[in-house]
């Protein structure tokens, strides 16, 4: 039995626009253990992005409790959340979200910069990760000179450089052609095989098939609320 | 660092215009302060020409009745007064001055001028510089010689084309040998008559000729300015005691305090500096608003990117530092350019030949890029650059990463 990494209890999130309240999430209960590969599915506007933001510590829930590796984070400040993201969560985004003006190496080393690691040391660590993913020949290129597939692999390198507890992949194949998409899917499976916990939001059926558990979300609730999950 | 430059120049035209505005503001403030500093130093030198720690004391008139002493009685210092005053603790030297107006003749030329009968130390106390010859010597005093030191003005009138040295000038019916001619002296702070209009003879010669029982005024060179008010009080007390007048009568003695005048001139120039600094500072402020504007645009443009940085773990402090250093860097570039331009202008101004009566009077006022001016400019630039970055940076720290990542 692995440790519980993510534990959501009665999570709710309400957005207020003027006088209108919009409930994006209600009564979400969810547990994810270390080493799992979870895909979150659901139509647009179902609340899956909000759920990803909360799991990724980018947003805090309006109600409920969120234990991440046993630590309550629902009430933390912005800077405290930033430190947790910096050390715990590796993000992979649909649009890659690399900084176009920086080189590949600088992009990958950026999270370590925010951790306060010295220039030489962080370049060394970043370079090692790039080598592992076969991207070391592109280290000095600007991020925007690479193809989409290469950029997404650089983004994965950036997620891996911090040795994250969780890799959060938000539509990681959404902007890629099928060949590059297949490479990314294979890479994620390989990482999960090596013991990494992966949580992904996707419409890509090929990616979802690789996940070991699928969570379906609809109207801000996890479907089949009795046990919170549908096992595949 | 490389990144800061890249990001800053993302909107080239706007940034370059802003840096030029900062350069212009810096140029304005630096040059104005340099000119102000130059004026201040020039005038300070002219003011110091009179000598420091000097107090001229002239006998006045009783204003109060006191134990049989009527009011409105004019007083003169007696030799006894002088002896007592010279023994006071704060008095380092005292020189009696006898003033009289007389007609000086040389051949067919004449000049009505004031003569002061003084002692040798007078030259040092009042910082009198000689163009030719020497001032009155102790031997002149001892031998009561008929010697004369000509002031600039009298020398010019009596000897327009010839050298006055070793010529005899008639004072009344007596010939006096010219032993020295005084340099023209800038005098913004004068003790009564400007030095250029005075001439000097040994006070012993005067005493021999006239045998005065009283002294018109005294120049007192004192040691410590801190005890000046006490010294004045003591002098008044001595005069009151010796002449049987009321020691609280302020009209007994007139004090002409050079230090006070010097201070007020100094204050005026510090005020002028502050004024010029404010004018330059306002110019710089406008440029600073420009930087803030560019930085606001940069922050808005970079909202998505700030979201990415925050997602990767950038804390508010990191974001704040990033945008403030960007602003400081732009300010630094502009400031450097402005200071270089200003230094160039200062060198050019120094090369301009200046003539005219006032310039001769006070010396050429040259702008000075003193360390004080530079430190002021650097501090002002730092504050403006920092503030111009601070407000946009604070906006950046308030960006919500979850929203910013969706925002394209």
Q: Which residue of A has its CA nearest to B401?
A: A58
Task: Please report which confidence band the pLDDT of residue B296 belongs to, taking 50, 70 and 90 as the band edges.
Answer: confident
Domain segments of chain A as ranges: 35-60+77-222
Q: What pLDDT is stored for residue A190 in this prediction?
A: 94
Number of domains in chain B: 2
CB pairs under 8 A between A and B: 54
Structural domain for B342, as ranges = 2-49+262-406
B33 shares its domain with B135: no
Q: Is residue B377 part of a domain?
A: yes
Task: Please report which confidence band the pLDDT of residue B362 belongs to, taking 50, 70 and 90 as the band edges.
Answer: low
For residue B42 the two structure tokens come to: 């020039």
**Substitution target from B304, B306, B311 for chain A, most A beta carbons within 10 A:** B311
Q: Kindly state the helix (H) or strand (E) to which residue B40 belongs, with its residue range.
A: helix B12-48
Task: Tell me what the mean pLDDT of segment B17-26 comes to.
Answer: 83
Q: Which residues of B touch A95 (CB under 8 A)?
A: 408
Q: Which residue of A has its CA nearest to B314?
A: A114
Spatial separation of the C-alpha atoms in residues A33 and A130, rounded to whole Å = 28
Q: Which residues of A touch B316 (CB under 8 A)?
A: 78-79, 82
Nearest C-alpha neighbor of A102 from the set A139, A134, A133, A131 = A139
Residue B339 region, left (φ>0) first, then alpha (ψ -120 to 50), else beta?
alpha
Q: What is the mean pLDDT of chain B?
A: 83
* Span B174-183, pLDDT tens digits: 899 999 999 8
In degrees to the nearest 10, what's the CA dihedral of B10, B11, B14, B16?
Answer: 40
Task: Tell me what the mean pLDDT of segment B139-166 comes to.
Answer: 91
Asked if A101's CB is within 8 angstroms of B6's CB, the reply is yes
Spatial separation of the C-alpha atoms in residues B11 and B297, rounded to whole Å = 9
Alpha helices in B190-245 (DSSP H): 203-210, 228-243
Q: Is residue B89 part of a domain?
A: no
Rounded to the nearest angstrom, the minimum Cα separation between B1 and chain A is 11
For residue B61, the Cα-to-chain-centroid distance in whole angstroms is 34
Q: Is residue B110 part of a domain?
A: yes
Count CA within 13 A, CB hemisphere, residue A11: 33
**Strands B174-182 and B130-133, how do they pair?**
antiparallel
B273 shares its domain with B391: yes
Give domain A35-60+77-222's CATH architecture: 3-Layer(aba) Sandwich (3.40)
Q: Which residues pair with B218 in a beta bridge?
A: B57, B96
Spatial separation of the C-alpha atoms in residues B294 and B289, rounded to whole Å = 9
Asked if B314's CB is within 8 angstroms of A82's CB, the reply is yes
Rounded to the nearest angstrom, the minimum Cα separation between A1 and chain B is 31
Let me know how long chain A is.
232
Q: What pLDDT is stored for residue B170 in this prediction?
A: 92
Rounded to the nearest angstrom, the minimum Cα separation between B10 and chain A is 10
- Give yes or no for residue B125 having a pLDDT over 70: no
B178 shares its domain with B286: no
- Give yes or no for residue A2 having a pLDDT over 60: no
**Strands A166-170 and A197-201, how do they pair?**
parallel
For residues B3 and B282, which has the higher predicted lDDT (pLDDT)? Answer: B282
Asked if B7's CB is within 8 angstroms of A114's CB, the reply is no
Describe chain A by its helix, strand, coil percentages, rounded to 5: 35, 30, 35
Q: Is residue B248 part of a domain?
A: no
Q: Is residue B189 part of a domain?
A: yes
| Dihedral sign for Cα atoms in the order A113, A114, A117, A122 | negative
B285 shares its domain with B401: yes
Q: Which residue of B has its CA nearest to A86?
A: B313
Nearest C-alpha neighbor of B311 from the set A121, A55, A143 = A55
- Give yes or no for residue A226 having a pLDDT over 50: no
In degrees to the nearest 10, what's the CA dihedral of A187, A191, A194, A199?
Answer: -140
Q: What pLDDT is stored for residue B46 in this prediction?
A: 65
Nearest C-alpha neighbor of B81 from the set B92, B90, B94, B99 = B94
The DSSP line for A165-224 is: SEEEEESTTTTS-HHHHHHHHHHHHHHHHTT-EEEEE-S-HHHHHH-SEEEEEETTEESS
Task: Please report which confidence band the pLDDT of residue B253 belongs to, taking 50, 70 and 90 as the band edges.
Answer: confident
Rounded to the nearest angstrom, the minimum Cα separation between A43 and chain B is 17
Q: What is the mean pLDDT of chain A?
A: 90
B400 shares its domain with B284: yes
Cβ atoms of B337 and B23 closer than 8 Å: yes
Task: Tell me what the mean pLDDT of segment A151-173 comes to.
Answer: 94
- Give yes or no for residue A191 having a pLDDT over 90: yes
What phi and psi, each to the nearest 5 degrees, are found at residue B195?
-55, -30
Mean pLDDT comparison of B46-60, B264-278, B382-396, highest-scoring range: B382-396
B270 shares its domain with B397: yes
Q: Which residues of B touch A56 (CB under 8 A)?
A: 311
Q: What pLDDT is stored for residue B58 in this prediction?
A: 83
B288 shares its domain with B182: no
B17 shares its domain with B151: no
**Strands B174-182 and B109-118, how do they pair?**
unpaired
Q: Could you say which of B158, B190, B219 is where a domain stops? A: B219
B208 shares its domain with B292: no
The SS3 of residue B131 is strand
Q: Could you say which of B163, B189, B219 is where a domain stops? A: B219
For residues B351 and A107, which has the higher predicted lDDT (pLDDT)? Answer: A107
The DSSP line for B146-194 is: -EEEE-HHHHHHH-SSS--TT-EEEETTEEEEEEEEEPP---SS-SSS-
Cβ atoms of A200 and A172 closer than 8 Å: yes
Q: Could you say which of B219, B237, B272 is where a domain stops? A: B219
- Give yes or no for residue B149 having a pLDDT over 70: yes
- Give yes or no for residue A228 having a pLDDT over 60: no
Q: Is residue B255 part of a domain?
A: no
- Within 10 angstroms of residue A205's Cβ, the number of other Cβ atoms is 9
Mean pLDDT comparison of A50-59, A223-232, B219-228, highest-scoring range: A50-59
For residue B109, the Cα-to-chain-centroid distance in whole angstroms is 39
B275 shares its domain with B160: no
- Which of A210-214, B116-120, B149-153 has the least mean pLDDT? B116-120
Residues 6+ apart with CB under 8 A from B116: B97, B98, B99, B122, B198, B199, B200, B201
Q: Is residue B58 part of a domain?
A: no
> What Cα–Cα distance (Å) separates residue A116 from each residue in A80, A110, A119, B7, B162?
15, 10, 9, 22, 84
Spatial separation of the C-alpha atoms in residues B291 and B286, rounded to whole Å = 9
Task: Tell me what the mean pLDDT of segment B265-294 comes to.
Answer: 81
> What Cα–Cα distance (Å) separates residue B224 from each residue in B133, B227, B234, B238, B259?
33, 6, 15, 20, 11
* Span A42-78, pLDDT tens digits: 888 888 889 999 999 999 999 999 999 889 998 899 9
Q: Which residues of A touch B311 (CB under 8 A)?
A: 56, 58, 85, 91, 97
- Give yes or no for residue A18 having a pLDDT over 70: yes
In degrees to the nearest 10, what's the CA dihedral of B349, B355, B356, B357?
Answer: 90
Residues 6+ apart with CB under 8 A from A165: A5, A34, A68, A69, A88, A89, A197
B215 shares its domain with B291: no
Nearest to B7 among A93, A101, A111 (CB): A101
Residues 6+ apart with CB under 8 A from A17: none
- Within 10 angstroms of residue B275's Cβ, the number of other Cβ atoms is 12
Q: Is residue B108 part of a domain?
A: yes
Q: What pLDDT is stored for residue B331 in this prediction?
A: 86
| Dihedral sign for Cα atoms in the order B347, B353, B356, B361 | positive
ipTM exceeding the 0.85 mark: yes
Task: Please report which confidence band the pLDDT of residue B251 belongs to, taking 50, 70 and 90 as the band edges.
Answer: confident
Asked if B6's CB is within 8 angstroms of A114's CB, the reply is no
Spatial separation of the C-alpha atoms in residues B184 and B129, rounded to whole Å = 8
Q: What pLDDT is stored for residue A225 in this prediction?
A: 40
- Give yes or no for residue B372 having a pLDDT over 80: no
Residues of chain B with pLDDT > 70, as a percent, come to: 88
Nearest to A91 among B311, B400, B408 (CB): B311
B105 shares its domain with B43: no
Residues of chain B with pLDDT > 90, as a percent, come to: 14
Asked if A106's CB is within 8 angstroms of B315's CB, the reply is no
Q: What pLDDT is stored for residue B404 in this prediction?
A: 87
């Amino acid at each position: 039995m692995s440790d519980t990494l993510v534990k959501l209890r009665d999570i709710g999130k309400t957005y207020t626009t003027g006088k209108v309240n919009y409930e994006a999430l209600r009564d979400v209960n969810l547990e994810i253990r270390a080493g799992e590969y979870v895909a979150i599915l659901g139509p647009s506007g179902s609340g899956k992005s909000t759920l990803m933001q909360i799991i990724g510590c980018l947003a805090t829930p309006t109600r409920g409790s969120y234990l991440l590796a046993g630590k309550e984070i629902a009430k933390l400040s912005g800077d405290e959340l930033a430190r947790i993201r910096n050390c715990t969560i590796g993000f992979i985004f649909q649009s890659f979200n690399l900084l176009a003006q920086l080189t590949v190496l600088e992009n990958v080393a950026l999270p370590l910069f925010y951790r306060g690691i010295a220039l030489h040391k962080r370049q060394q660590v970043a370079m090692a990760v790039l080598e592992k993913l076969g991207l070391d020949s592109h280290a000095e290129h600007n991020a925007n000179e690479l193809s989409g597939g290469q950029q997404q692999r650089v983004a994965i390198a950036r997620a891996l450089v911090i040795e994250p507890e969780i890799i959060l992949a938000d539509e990681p194949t959404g902007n890629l052609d099928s060949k590059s998409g297949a490479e990314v899917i294979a890479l994620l499976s390989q990482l999960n095989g090596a013991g990494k916990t992966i949580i992904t939001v996707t419409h890509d059926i090929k990616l979802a098939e690789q996940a070991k558990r699928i969570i379906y979300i609809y109207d801000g609730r996890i479907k089949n609320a009795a046990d919170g999950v549908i096992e595949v | 660092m490389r990144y800061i430059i890249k990001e800053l120049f993302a909107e080239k035209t706007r940034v370059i215009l802003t840096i030029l505005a900062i350069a212009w503001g810096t140029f304005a403030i630096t040059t104005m302060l340099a000119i102000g500093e130059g004026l201040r130093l020039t005038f300070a030198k002219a003011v110091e020409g009179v000598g420091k720690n000097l107090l001229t004391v002239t006998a006045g008139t009783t204003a109060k009745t006191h134990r049989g002493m009527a009011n409105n009685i004019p007083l003169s210092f007696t030799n006894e007064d002088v002896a007592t005053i010279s023994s006071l603790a704060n008095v380092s030297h005292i020189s009696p001055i006898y003033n009289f107006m007389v007609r000086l003749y040389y051949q067919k030329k004449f000049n009505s001028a004031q003569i002061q009968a003084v002692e040798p130390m007078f030259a040092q106390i009042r910082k009198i510089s000689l163009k030719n010859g020497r001032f009155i010597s102790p031997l002149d005093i001892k031998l009561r010689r008929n010697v004369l030191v000509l002031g600039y003005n009298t020398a010019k009138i009596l000897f327009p084309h010839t050298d006055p040295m070793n010529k005899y000038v008639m004072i009344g019916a007596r010939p006096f040998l010219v032993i020295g001619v005084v340099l023209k002296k800038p005098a913004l702070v004068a003790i009564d008559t400007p030095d250029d209009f005075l001439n000097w003879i040994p006070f012993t010669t005067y005493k021999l000729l006239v045998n005065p029982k009283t002294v018109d005024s005294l120049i007192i060179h004192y040691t410590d300015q801190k005890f000046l008010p006490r010294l004045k009080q003591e002098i008044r007390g001595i005069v009151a005691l010796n002449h049987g007048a009321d020691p609280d009568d302020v009209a007994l003695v007139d004090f002409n305090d050079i230090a006070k005048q010097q201070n007020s001139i100094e204050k005026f120039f510090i005020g002028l500096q502050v004024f010029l600094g404010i004018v330059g500072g306002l110019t710089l402020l406008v440029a600073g608003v420009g930087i803030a504007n560019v930085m606001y645009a940069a922050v808005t443009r970079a909202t998505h990117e700030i979201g990415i940085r925050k997602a990767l773990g950038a804390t508010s402090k990191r974001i704040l530092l990033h945008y403030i250093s960007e602003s400081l860097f732009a300010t630094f570039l502009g400031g450097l350019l402005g200071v270089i331009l200003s230094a160039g202008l200062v060198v050019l101004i120094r090369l301009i030949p200046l003539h005219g009566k006032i310039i001769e009077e006070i010396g050429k006022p040259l702008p000075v890029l003193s360390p004080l001016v530079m430190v002021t400019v650097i501090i002002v630039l730092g504050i403006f650059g920092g503030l111009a970055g601070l407000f946009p940076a604070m906006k950046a720290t308030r960006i919500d990463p979850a929203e910013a990542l969706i925002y394209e």
